Amino acid sequence: MSATSGTIWQVAARRGATYAAFFCLLFWVGFPVYYMLITSFMDPPELGVKPPHWIPQEPTIENYREVIIGKTGQRGDYGTTTEFSRMMPALLNSTFVSVSVVLLNLLIGGMAAYAFSRFDFRFSRFVYLGVLMTRVLPALSLIVPLFIILRKLKLINTLWALIFTYTIFILPLTIWILREYFDTLARDIEEMALIDGATRWQAFRIVVAPLAVPGLIAVGVMSFMEAWSEFFFALTLTNSLTYPPLLMSFRNLHQVNWNALAAATTIGVLPPVIVAFVFQRYLVRGLSEGAVKG
Amino acid sequence: MAAVQARKTSAQERKHWDRKWIPYVLLAPAIITIVVVILSPLVTTIYYSFSNIDLIRDRTTFIGFDNYVELFSSRLFWKAVEINLKFAAIVVVVPTLMGLFFALLLVEEFVGRGIGRTLLILPWALPWIVIGLLWNWVVHSQFGALNGLLYSLGLIEKYIPFMADENWALFFTAMASAWRQTSFSAILLLAALQTIPEDLYDAAKVDGAGMRARFRFITIAWIRPTLTIVLLYNIVLGFLQFDAVWVMTQGGPGDATMLISVLLYRYSFINFDLGMGAAVSNVLGLITMGVGLIFVRLTYRSQSTYS
C-alpha cells in the first residue's frame, strides 16, 4: 500500500499512526522483558523502591555471578540457598536433551517423511493420516499412562524419558513439514540419477539432502526450541533435571531472591532466543508451513 | 500427472524389488515409537478412566462410568469449565486481534520495521514457564512493573495486589498466554499478508474500491484461511495451557485460575487419583480433538484444492 497518495496531511497522519502503532508493539513486547533484564542487574534492595527505578542506579552483575557459582544470599538477609547450584547441571542436561531430540527427530522424521514422499506402498495414505491425527492429541492428556509405562521401564527421573517423549511428540509435525519439502524437491533430477544407475541412497545423499537443508534447519530449530522449553513432562516425569522445572522450583523457594531468579531466567533463555534470532527466516517459514499447511 | 507416470517406468520397474521393503524400513522407527508412546497411552487413558487405580497396592479395578459420573456431578469440574471458558475467551480474542494489528503494521514500509519483525519473534521464542515468570514480575504486588508504572504516572497511590484478586488473577494469567500467542498469530498473519499480490490493490483502486472495501474484500479475504488456523490454534491453547498458569498461580488464589488442565494435574499428581485424572484427560482430549478435527478437515480441503 502506498503512503504517497493523498495530501501532505494525510501522509503525515498515516506516518503518525504507523509510528504510534510501532510504539505499541515495542512497549507490548519489550516492557515485560526489559523489566526482567533490569531486575537481573539490580541489588535486591533496589527492587521494589517507590517509584521504581527504570534504569538500575548501581548496575551489578553480582546476581549472575551468584547463579553461576550456585550460591545466593551473600548480601545480607535475602534468603541464603544453595538451590541455585543445580542451575549449571540443569543447563547441561537441557542441552543434552535438546540436541539429542533434534538429531533423533531429524533422523527418524526425515526417514519417514522421505518414505511418504517417494514411495507408494500399501496403506500409505491411511498411515499418513494416522500420523497427522496424533498431532491433535493433547500431550497433556496422555501423561497418566505415559507416567505408568515409564515407571515400569524404570525411566522415571532420567533424561531418556524426556528425550523419548519429546522426540515422539514432535515427530508428526516434522514428518508433515519435511514431506512437503521433499515433495517439492527436484524429483526429476533424482529420477535421472536413478535411471543413470545411482542407488536410492546415492540419489538421496547427492540430490535430495543438500536441497532439503533449509527444511531440515527449520525442523531442527523448532524441535530444539520445543525440547528446551518443555515444562509439563519435565515436571511430572523427572525431578527438575532440566531447566524449565528447575526455574519453577526456584520460584517456589520460601524466600525467593527475585534478582537472582531474574538472572537465572535470563541465562536460561539465551539458547532458544539466540537460535530463534539467528535462524529467524527458516523458523518463520517452518512455522507458517507447519501451521498453515499442517 | 505425466511426471508421476514417468516415475513408475524403467528405473522404478527395474528396482521393483527394493521399493517393496524400503518404505517400511524407513517408516518403522517413527511408526513404532508413535504407537508405543502416543497410541498405546491413548488406549490406556480410555481404559483407566473407567478404572479405579490403587497405586500403593498396584491394583486396577474396572468400575464402569463411576469416574465420569463423579466428575460430571462435582461442582469443582463445572467451576473449572467455567473458568477455562473465560480464560480461553481472552486467549482467543486478544491475540487474534492484536496479532492482526501488528501484522498489518509490519507489512507497511517504515524505518524500524526490521526491528519490529525481529522483536516479534521474541515472545514466541520464550518458554511458557519464562512467560509465566515475566508476567509475575509485571503484576507483582510489591515490585511489579505494572504497579510501578501506574504509580510513576500518578494513577495509583498504593500498589494493587493483583494476584490476590480472583478476577485480576484470571485476567492476567490469560494475558500472559495472550502475550505469547499475539506474537505467534502476528508471525503467521504477516507471512500471509506478504503473499498478497500488490496489483490486486491497484486493480481494486482502478475499479473505485475505497480503503475499507479493499481491506475487507482483498486483505481479509486473502488471509482468511490463515486467520482460521490462528483462531483454532488459539482456541486449542486456551484449553491446553498449563505451564504459564501453573508458574503464576498454581490455580489460585482459591480456585480462581483452576483451568481444566490444572484440575487434571491436581487429580493425577497431587491426589494421585489416576482414574479421575484419566477421566479429566479424556474430556480435555475430546474438546481439543474436536477443534483439531475441524482443523485437519479445513487444511486437508485447502490442500486438495491447489494440488
How many whole angstroms from its chain centre is CA A244?
12
DSSP-derived 3-state class of residue B62: strand
Q: Are B185 and B100 in contact (CB under 8 A)?
A: yes
Whether A75 is in a domain gets the answer yes
Predicted pLDDT of residue A73 = 61
Assign A294 a pLDDT band (cuts: 50, 70, 90).
very low
- Domains of chain B in start order, with CATH, are 2-48 (no CATH), 69-306 (1.10.3720.10)
Which residue numbers in chain B have pLDDT < 70? Answer: 1-19, 296, 299-307
Predicted pLDDT of residue A292 = 57
| Same-domain pairing of A65 and A131 | no
The CB density around residue B257, as the number of other CB atoms within 10 Å, is 27
DSSP-derived 3-state class of residue A241: coil
**Are the beta carbons of A261 and B18 separated by less than 8 Å?**
no
| Same-domain pairing of A61 and A112 | no
Predicted pLDDT of residue B307 = 33
| Same-domain pairing of A77 and A93 | no
Whether A3 is in a domain gets the answer no
Residues in B closer than 8 angstroms to A107, CB to CB, are: 29
Q: What are A242-272's pLDDT values in tens digits?
A: 999 999 888 887 677 888 889 999 999 999 9
Residues in A closer than 8 angstroms to B10, CB to CB, are: 195
Predicted pLDDT of residue A78 = 52
E-assigned strand segments in chain B: 51-54, 59-62
Q: What are phi and psi of A72, to 5 degrees?
A: -115, 170
| Same-domain pairing of A76 and A135 | no
Q: Are B135 and B176 in contact (CB under 8 A)?
A: yes
| Same-domain pairing of A127 and A169 | yes
Is the pLDDT score of A166 beyond 50?
yes
Whether A208 is in a domain gets the answer yes
Minimum distance, in Å, between the CA of residue A4 and any CA atom of chain B: 11
Whether A1 is in a domain gets the answer no
Mark which of A84, A113, A144 sits at the end of a domain. A84
| Same-domain pairing of A114 and A170 | yes
Whether A41 is in a domain gets the answer yes
Task: Report the complex ipTM.
Answer: 0.88
pTM of the predicted model over 0.90: no
Residues in A closer than 8 angstroms to B129, CB to CB, are: 229, 231, 244-245, 247-248
Mark which of A84, A106, A126 sits at the end of a domain. A84
Is the pLDDT score of A100 beyond 80?
yes
**Are the beta carbons of B127 and A175 separated by less than 8 Å?**
no
Q: What are A40-97's pLDDT values in tens digits?
A: 999 888 887 888 889 888 888 888 988 888 776 655 545 556 677 888 899 999 999 9
Mutate to test the interface with B, among A5, A25, A105, A251 (most CBs of B within 10 A): A25
Whether A201 is in a domain gets the answer yes
What domain range includes position A206? 86-293
Comparing CB atoms, the residue among B19, B188, B284 nearest residue A119 is B19
Cα angle for residues B289, B291, B296 (degrees, 5° grid) = 85
Residues in A closer than 8 angstroms to B3, CB to CB, are: 187-188
CB-neighbour burial class of residue A269 (10 A; exposed 0-12, middle 13-18, buried 19+): buried
Predicted pLDDT of residue B204 = 84
**Are the beta carbons of B31 and A127 separated by less than 8 Å?**
yes
**The domain spanning residue A265 has which CATH number?**
1.10.3720.10
**Are the beta carbons of A115 and B39 separated by less than 8 Å?**
no
Whether A270 is in a domain gets the answer yes
| Same-domain pairing of A115 and A215 | yes
Is the pLDDT score of A230 beyond 70?
yes
**Are the beta carbons of B27 and A109 separated by less than 8 Å?**
no
Mark which of A65, A84, A103 sits at the end of a domain. A84
**Are the beta carbons of B44 and A165 separated by less than 8 Å?**
no
Q: Based on the structure, what is the number of domains in chain A?
A: 2
User: 480461553: which residue's cell?
Assistant: B88
A-B Cβ pairs (cutoff 8 Å, strict):
287
Which residue pairs from B283-290 have beta carbons closer than 8 angstroms and sit at least 24 positions apart in sequence? B283/B71, B284/A138, B284/A140, B284/A141, B284/B239, B284/B240, B284/B260, B285/A137, B285/A138, B285/A141, B285/B45, B287/B239, B287/B260, B288/A136, B288/A137, B288/A138, B288/A141, B288/B236, B288/B239, B288/B240, B289/A136, B289/A137
**Are the beta carbons of A265 and B303 separated by less than 8 Å?**
no
Assign A28 a pLDDT band (cuts: 50, 70, 90).
very high
| Same-domain pairing of A68 and A163 | no
- Percent of chain A predicted with pLDDT > 90: 33
The CB density around residue B298, as the number of other CB atoms within 10 Å, is 14
| Same-domain pairing of A165 and A272 | yes
**Are the beta carbons of A143 and B281 separated by less than 8 Å?**
yes
- Give the type of residue at B179: W
| Same-domain pairing of A154 and A39 | no
- Render the burial of B179-201: b for 16+ CB within 10 Å, e for the rest: bbbbbbbbbbbbbbbeebeeeeb
Q: What are A137-160's pLDDT values in tens digits?
A: 777 778 878 888 888 889 999 999
| B221/A289: higher pLDDT | B221
| Same-domain pairing of A125 and A23 | no
**Are the beta carbons of B33 and A108 separated by less than 8 Å?**
yes
Whether A2 is in a domain gets the answer no
Q: Are A191 and B6 in contact (CB under 8 A)?
A: yes
Residues in A closer than 8 angstroms to B142, CB to CB, are: 48
Predicted pLDDT of residue B301 = 60
Predicted pLDDT of residue A270 = 94
| Same-domain pairing of A68 and A110 | no
Q: Are A244 and B127 in contact (CB under 8 A)?
A: yes
